[in-house]
């Protein structure tokens, strides 16, 4: 990737990987909404679902695309951000340029970094433990990932940490969703407006969906 | 009215610049911002000091020469207005006004408020024209074009190349400028013929110069004196991808 000098091509890559991650967020959320079912039902169903995912070859392929997307997206964002820093020259003594844009649009790198830190912790806690750690089995003999999730969210700090990360992701998407379409070349005014509105709804839905789960578990289970 | 100024003074490209303070006592609200600077320069000249250098040409908002940062905003607080069209009535008696040059790596400071924007010229030289043989003006109606297309091309062509977009962009991106020039031609029948090559050449030239990328913050359009639409940038991306994919 280092050989792609061109920023438009690089932004296409960011946009495509970003949109793939958006797609993944939807699928991941739909799966996780099973956590909100009645506890005895949720446990068996969620563990069965997890078992199915980790043994499915198609899911395996998609998961590699996912890891590659996260890496490509992150490396690209660092490259472009450094290049932009170099291009902007010495700072203004008096700088009120931020009146012209939204803070979350200017802070995509910060928001992305929070999301990245979250991903590392998130993967270590659930994915790594599920794959390589020792988990008790449920009544069906499947690894009890459900139990692990419920236990994790008994800690209020963990719930708060989660919510902050999801909020950062929400703002990342609030700018990122429509920005991706622009980067790919959607210039028609009507469709641009449409995509902007869809982006707002998407960011809201993803944020709400992912925040509800830890709070529901903390308060009810 | 009384106006306090903090103006960036820098002897040449290599020198270290800094803000200097000045005060003017009899500024008229009807003066343009540049006339106010003229007044300051007259005073400096009388005292035998070096006047503040700044760029300007038409003083009627069409040449794009006069851009400076006024209180941290390109062309000052008034939207859709160039520095030369900004008047002192936009300020209050006793105000302190910070005046700095556009700062970005691609626009080196020549002296004081004057910057070298020839990187824009280089982008234009890479393809911002239509190759035709000169001669008699052709019959105007020989190439049909719809009113909408003509208007849309004209909206893009309204860019005066002042550089406020680069100065405003957190990434110092020239995307708005370059895309306006690309779109202007891509919309016209005369420009369509060379569209692919033009887009690729201009984008590549822009990439070689010291500009950053576009993050779609849309700040450039907000501070653009001509209100050039950010959708031009999406159009440039589209034209560039099309050129690359259908090579
Ligand atoms: C689930 C995770 C993520 C999703 C769904 C996502 C989505 C997106 C999308 C759709 C865009 C817009 C692309 C464009 O403007 O063309 C974007 C931009 C961006 N992302 Fe992410 N992203 C994620 C994670 C990350 C991470 C981990 C980082 C970095 C540490 C990051 C850094 C950035 C940056 C800096 C931009 C702005 C690029 C620019 O300067 O234009 N993102 N993201
Ligand atoms: S001097 Fe020509 S636009 Fe201001």
Pocket of ligand 1 (CB under 6 A): A 11, 14-15, 18-19, 21-22, 25, 73-74, 77, 80-81, 108-109, 112-113, 115-116, 172, 176-177, 179-180, 183; B 215-216
Which A positions 190-209 lie with beta carbon below 8 A of chain B?
A: 192
Smallest Cα distance from A71 to chain B, Å: 19
What pLDDT, on the 0 to 100 scale, is given for residue B139? Answer: 86
Smallest Cα distance from B46 to chain A, Å: 29
What pLDDT, on the 0 to 100 scale, is given for residue A89? Answer: 86
Nearest CA in chain A to B235: A187
Contacts of A106 in chain B (CB under 8 A): 170, 215, 217
In angstroms, the CA A81 to CA B181 distance is 25
Take residue B180 and report the two structure tokens written for it.
């306006």
The SS3 assignment for B23 reads strand
In angstroms, the CA A43 to CA B1 distance is 75
The SS3 assignment for B3 reads strand
Distance A14 CA to ligand 1 centre (A): 7
**C-alpha closest to that of B164 among B36, B55, B76:** B76
Contacts of B103 in chain A (CB under 8 A): 88-92
The SS3 assignment for B29 reads coil
What pLDDT, on the 0 to 100 scale, is given for residue B37? Answer: 98
Tens-binned pLDDT, residue by residue, of chain A (221 aa): 445 778 899 999 999 999 999 999 999 999 999 999 999 999 999 999 999 999 999 999 999 999 999 999 999 999 999 999 999 989 999 999 999 999 999 999 999 999 999 999 999 999 999 999 999 999 999 999 999 999 999 999 999 999 999 999 999 999 999 999 999 999 999 999 999 999 999 999 999 999 999 999 999 98
Question: What values do phi and psi take at A100, rounded to 5?
Answer: -95, -5
Chain pair A-B, CB pairs under 8 angstroms: 148
Dmax over Cα atoms in chain A, in whole Å? 66
Which A positions 5-44 lie with beta carbon below 8 A of chain B?
A: 5-12
Least confident of B8-17, B77-86, B131-140, B143-152: B131-140
Which B positions 142-181 lie with beta carbon below 8 A of chain A?
A: 168-173
**C-alpha closest to that of B128 among B200, B61, B210:** B200
Report whether CATH 2.30.30.60 matches the domain B117-245: no
Task: Give the nearest partner residue to A84 out of B73, B172, B232, using CB atoms.
Answer: B172
Domain ranges of chain A: 6-87+103-220
In angstroms, the CA A46 to CA A31 distance is 8
Task: Give the nearest partner residue to B105 out of A5, A89, A93, using CB atoms.
Answer: A89
CA atoms within 13 A on the CB side of B100: 24
| CATH assignment of A6-87+103-220, among 1.20.1290.10, 3.40.50.300, 3.30.390.30, 1.20.1300.10 | 1.20.1300.10
Sign of torsion over alpha carbons B207, B211, B212, B218: negative
In angstroms, the CA B7 to CA B167 distance is 17
Place of tokens 């290049």: A83
What pLDDT, on the 0 to 100 scale, is given for residue B136? Answer: 86
Instruction: Name A87's Cβ contacts closer than 8 Å, sequence gap at least 6.
Output: B104, B105, B106, B171, B172, B173, B210, B211, B212
A84:B106 CB<8 A? no
Topology annotation, domain B3-111: Ubiquitin-like (UB roll) (3.10.20)
pTM of this prediction?
Answer: 0.94
Interface check B243 vs A, CB under 8 A: no
**C-alpha closest to that of B196 among B186, B181, B204:** B186
**C-alpha closest to that of B206 among B180, B186, B187:** B180
Place of tokens 């296409």: A12
Whether A67 and A20 have beta carbons less than 8 Å apart is answered as no
- Backbone Cα Rg of chain A: 20
Cα dist from B37 to A41, B52, B223, whole Å: 76, 8, 22
A118, burial (CB in 10 Å: exposed 0-12, middle 13-18, buried 19+):
middle
Interface check A86 vs B, CB under 8 A: yes
Cα dist from B111 to B9, B10, B17, B21, B114, whole Å: 7, 5, 9, 17, 5
Take residue A1 and report the two structure tokens written for it.
């990737």
Domain ranges of chain B: 3-111, 117-245
Q: What are the tens digits of pLDDT across the range B69-91?
A: 999 999 999 999 999 999 999 99
Pocket of ligand 2 (CB under 6 A): B 56-59, 61-66, 82-84
Exposure string over B99-138, b if 16+ CB within 10 A, otherwise e: bbbbbbbbbbbbbbbbbebebbebbeebbbeeeeeeeeee
Nearest CA in chain A to B222: A100
Question: What values do phi and psi take at B50, rounded to 5?
Answer: -70, 125
Residue B213 has pLDDT above 60, yes or no: yes
Q: Which ligand is nearest to the CA of B68?
A: 2
What pLDDT, on the 0 to 100 scale, is given for residue B135? Answer: 83
What pLDDT, on the 0 to 100 scale, is given for residue A3? Answer: 57
In angstroms, the CA B55 to CA B70 distance is 14
């Amino acid at each position: 990737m280092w050989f792609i000098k061109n920023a438009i091509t690089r932004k296409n890559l960011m946009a495509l990987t970003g949109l793939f991650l958006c797609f993944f967020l939807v699928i991941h959320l739909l799966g996780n909404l099973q956590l909100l079912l009645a506890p005895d039902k949720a446990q068996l169903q969620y563990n069965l679902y997890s078992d199915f995912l980790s043994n499915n070859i198609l899911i395996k392929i998609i998961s590699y695309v996912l890891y590659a997307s996260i890496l490509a997206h992150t490396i690209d964002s660092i490259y472009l951000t450094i290049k932009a820093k170099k291009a902007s020259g010495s700072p203004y003594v008096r700088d009120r340029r931020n009146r012209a844009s939204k803070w979350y649009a200017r802070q995509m790198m910060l928001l992305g970094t929070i999301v990245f830190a979250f991903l590392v912790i998130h993967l270590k806690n659930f994915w790594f433990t599920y794959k390589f750690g020792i988990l008790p089995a449920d009544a069906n003999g499947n690894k009890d990932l459900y139990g692990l999730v419920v236990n994790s969210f008994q800690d209020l700090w963990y719930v708060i940490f989660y919510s902050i990360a999801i909020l950062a992701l929400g703002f990342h998407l609030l700018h990122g969703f429509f920005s991706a379409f622009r980067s790919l070349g959607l210039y028609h005014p009507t469709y641009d407006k449409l995509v902007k509105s869809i982006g707002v709804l998407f960011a809201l839905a993803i944020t709400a969906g992912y925040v509800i789960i830890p709070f529901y578990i903390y308060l009810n289970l | 009215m009384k106006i306090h100024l903090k103006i960036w003074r820098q002897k040449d490209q290599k020198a270290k610049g800094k803000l200097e303070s000045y005060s003017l006592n009899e500024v008229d609200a009807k003066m343009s911002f540049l006339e106010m600077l003229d007044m300051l320069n007259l005073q400096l000249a009388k005292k035998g000091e070096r006047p503040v250098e700044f760029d300007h040409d038409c003083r009627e908002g069409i040449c794009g020469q006069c851009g400076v940062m006024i209180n941290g905003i390109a062309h000052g607080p008034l939207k859709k207005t160039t520095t030369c069209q900004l008047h002192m009535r936009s300020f209050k008696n006793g105000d302190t006004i910070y005046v700095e040059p556009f700062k970005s790596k691609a626009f080196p400071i020549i002296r004081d408020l004057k910057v070298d924007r020839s990187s824009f010229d280089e982008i234009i030289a890479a393809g911002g024209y239509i190759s035709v043989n000169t001669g008699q003006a052709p019959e105007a109606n020989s190439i049909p074009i719809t009113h909408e297309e003509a208007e849309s091309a004209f909206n893009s062509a309204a860019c005066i190349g002042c550089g406020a977009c680069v100065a405003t962009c957190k990434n110092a991106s020239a995307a708005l400028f370059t895309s306006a020039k690309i779109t202007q031609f891509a919309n016209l029948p005369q420009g369509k013929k060379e569209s692919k090559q033009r887009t690729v050449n201009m984008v590549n030239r822009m990439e070689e110069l010291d500009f950053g990328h576009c993050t779609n913050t849309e700040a450039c359009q907000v501070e653009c004196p001509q209100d050039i639409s950010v959708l031009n940038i999406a159009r440039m991306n589209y034209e560039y991808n099309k050129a690359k994919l259908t090579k």
